[in-house]
Amino acid sequence: MPDAAVLEQEKDTVKIVVLGAAGGIGQSLSLLIKSQLYYVVRSNKRIHLALYDINRDAISGVVADMSHIDTPITISAHYPDEENKESLKDCLTNASIVLIPAGVPRKPGMTRDDLFKVNAGIVSQLTDSIIKYCDLKKIFILLISNPINSLIPVIMNRFKYNESITKDTNIEKRLFGITTLDSTRGSIFLKDTINNLKLTSGLQVMEMPHVPVIGGHSGDTIIPVFSQCSAADNLSQDQISNLINRVQYGGDEIVLAKKGKGSATLSMAHSSFKMLIKFVDLILGNCNDLTITSFISLKNLNQDNEIASGGKELMSRINNLNYFAIPAIVTINGIKEIKFKIIDYLNYNEFNDLLPICLKNLKTNIVTGESF
């Protein structure tokens, strides 16, 4: 149990918590935070990394190893223990950001939805501890565990059990399902295609294209918006269709390549780290707001008004969904505004082929989570 002085010091610290830190994603992500965060954000504040996992031996070893890395980011190990019943309390108290990769990953032949029951139980338990120990008016919760499309509603429902939480804290503005890996894949698959086909793209050799991705985070709920990426302008419709399919099902390539030993871990750690850096900069006051795309609640949030008439009907259907992966402006107080305008800029195929399928399947995924 930390003493009062330690708790006082923690209040002036950016405390980053990883729940499920001994796993494939948890370890690689924690390594990036411990070894690289120091080089990419400006900070006069202490940064502390608190790592929790139910696998006691694994997390102790991981933290012992990482504690030899020469950066000023401090680190602590937490695990359930007969002697210390307060391990999650110690880990979560005064947390600024909680990342959740706790759960089971896919095996060949499994979809993300097959993980639902086990992972819904795990994230529900962890959410109860977050409710108990974190300051819900300050915390940012970043969910990695799959299926994101259903688990974000599970977490939100956990908060809704206690009406005063949603009313007093606006926690729905602080909860984000990390879908960054889809856009990471869009960028690298496009860059590889351009290089392999020796196409003209307007990109410098060391420049990466940015491919916005909206919708959900599973199969055909993923909508890569190549029309919004000028580097893709010289690709044929067939080449774009292949890229769309590869982004939607890219995770399967890794599950197959790992032959039953898990799913994406390194590319996911990289993708979550990219998102985490933005949140740390926001908390440190290095920026006033940030724009990120993630799977978020659409309820009680401001929307920009300039919705073209053609998009209105779909807009109302998206609103009926409650959750969607879409760009949003986030301040220290949480999500400030959702950038719905991206829907208006979709091209014919994205709007008429990809979006309706996404909406139908995403609805099913969300209902699964909401009825857990």
- Active-site residue set: 217
State which of residues 55, 124, 227, 286 lies at the interface with ligand NAI (CB under 6 A): 55
- Sequence-ordered strand ranges (E) for 255-304: 290-297
Does residue 134 contact residue 165 with C-beta atoms inside 8 Å? no
- Answer yes or no: is 158 a known binding residue: no
State which of residues 14, 18, 23, 41 lies at the interface with ligand NAI (CB under 6 A): 23
State which of residues 63, 66, 96, 101 lies at the interface with ligand NAI (CB under 6 A): 101
Q: Is the previous residue joined to 209 through a cis bond, with omega within 30 degrees of 0?
A: no
Is residue 224 close enough to count as binding ligand NAI by CB under 6 A? no
State which of residues 91, 102, 232, 335 lies at the interface with ligand NAI (CB under 6 A): 102
State which of residues 93, 94, 96, 146 lies at the interface with ligand NAI (CB under 6 A): 146
Is residue 325 close enough to count as binding ligand NAI by CB under 6 A? no
Whose Cβ is closer to ligand NAI: residue 69's or residue 266's? 266
- Stretch of 39-47, 256-264, 284-292, 350-358 contacting ligand NAI, by CB under 6 A: 256-264
- Stretch of 14-22, 165-173, 190-198, 336-344 contacting ligand NAI, by CB under 6 A: 14-22
**Any idea which residue has 């003493």 for tokens?**
3
Is residue 105 close enough to count as binding ligand NAI by CB under 6 A? yes
Positive or negative: CA dihedral 83, 87, 89, 93? positive
Does residue 223 contact residue 215 with C-beta atoms inside 8 Å? yes
Whose Cβ is closer to ligand NAI: residue 54's or residue 301's? 54
Question: What distance, in Å, lies between the first and last C-alpha atoms of the chain?
Answer: 34
- Stretch of 20-28, 43-51, 184-192, 303-311 contacting ligand NAI, by CB under 6 A: 20-28
Residue in 98, 168, 102 with CA at minimum distance from that of residue 133 = 98
Is residue 247 close enough to count as binding ligand NAI by CB under 6 A? no
Is residue 119 close enough to count as binding ligand NAI by CB under 6 A? yes
Least separation in angstroms between CB 2 and ligand NAI: 20
What is the three-class DSSP state of 317?
A: helix
Is residue 50 close enough to count as binding ligand NAI by CB under 6 A? no
Is residue 54 close enough to count as binding ligand NAI by CB under 6 A? yes
Distance CA 226, CA 240 (A): 7
